[in-house]
Amino acid sequence: MKKIAISLGDINGIGIELALKNHNKISKLCKPIYCIDKKLLKQASRLLNIKIPKDFKIYGKYKKCKIKPQQITKQSGYFSFQSFLTAINLAKEKKVSGICTLPIHKKAWQKAGIPYAGHTDMLRNIFKKDAIMMLGCSKMFVALFTEHIPLKDVSKQIKTKKLTKFFINFINSTNAKKVAVLGFNPHAGDNGVFGIEEKKINIAEFEAKKDETKISFSIDNEIIKKSIRDIDFAFRFGGDEFVIIVVAENIVLSKIVNLIFFRKYSILR
């Protein structure tokens, strides 16, 4: 089994409890190395009244810290940072195959003077490479284009070149066959009715790199616009309902409906 370094997160939080309670399950999946020292581990064990498993392998030396459950402290922030840094160094030295991180408290990092907003930010800086925050399982991954910034600043980050690079990196990391893009605004802006951020994206630039990005913009009005002719009209009737006025015989209407269905199905399948 592969060795995995596990950073314990905020020592005043739930991380160490999760590690102690779930060690038997974890050890069936990998060889965990917990980034904590003996004194701190024993302190946590006493407070939680949980015995330390005999094969609970630990690593690293850390600054003395008193556990204060549910409190946000400078000491707990510094420990969680050091625990994560230890895990990173183990990976850099190729002593482990991967890293697992338990929850930190960002306010505690701030109190400790840590210059990062979180794990992803720190990894990006240390390795000098782009890092993507993802949530996922075997069936689907969800990638966040922005992270750790106020909502009011998100729209400023939506740039075509930056998005293209993001999607190419995402595809290379996950080998996804297709990627659906969640719109920034309701109904992806609905052609500027609910916002113009989507309209700022240069679709042609994505199309030029579609083999690399594999992007399908799951925007209903875009699908319909590409499926009807210049002499036809399309209107949004409700939230997700459309009315299409077609100047044609039934056979032409049938072709348009089939084309819309095909394009929609191609995105969702």
CATH of domain 3-128: 3.40.718.10
pLDDT tops 60 at residue 245: yes
What pLDDT is attached to residue 45?
95
pLDDT tops 80 at residue 86: yes
3-state secondary structure labels for all residues of 130-197: CCCEEEECCCCEEEECCCCCCHHHCHHHCCHHHHHHHHHHHHHHHCCCCEECCCCCHHHHCCCCCCCC
pTM of the model: 0.71
Looking at the DSSP assignment, which residues form a beta bridge with residue 99? 5
Distance from C-alpha of 12 to C-alpha of 108, rounded to nearest angstrom? 10
Lowest pLDDT segment from 7-16, 53-62, 168-177, 212-221: 212-221
What pLDDT is attached to residue 227?
65
Q: Which residue has the higher pLDDT, 232 or 214?
A: 232
What pLDDT is attached to residue 23?
96
Average pLDDT, the chain: 82
pLDDT tops 50 at residue 185: yes
Tokens of 181: 């893009």
Domain ranges of the chain: 3-128
165 band by pLDDT with thresholds 50, 70 and 90: confident
Q: Which residue has the higher pLDDT, 250 or 69?
A: 69
Distance from C-alpha of 152 to C-alpha of 156, rounded to nearest angstrom? 8
pLDDT in tens, 99-151: 999 999 999 999 999 999 889 889 989 998 888 888 888 778 888 888 888 88
Paired sense of beta strands 215-216 and 98-101, if any: unpaired
Inter-CA distances, 177 with 172, 182, 212, 217, 268, Å: 11, 17, 10, 14, 12
What pLDDT is attached to residue 207?
57
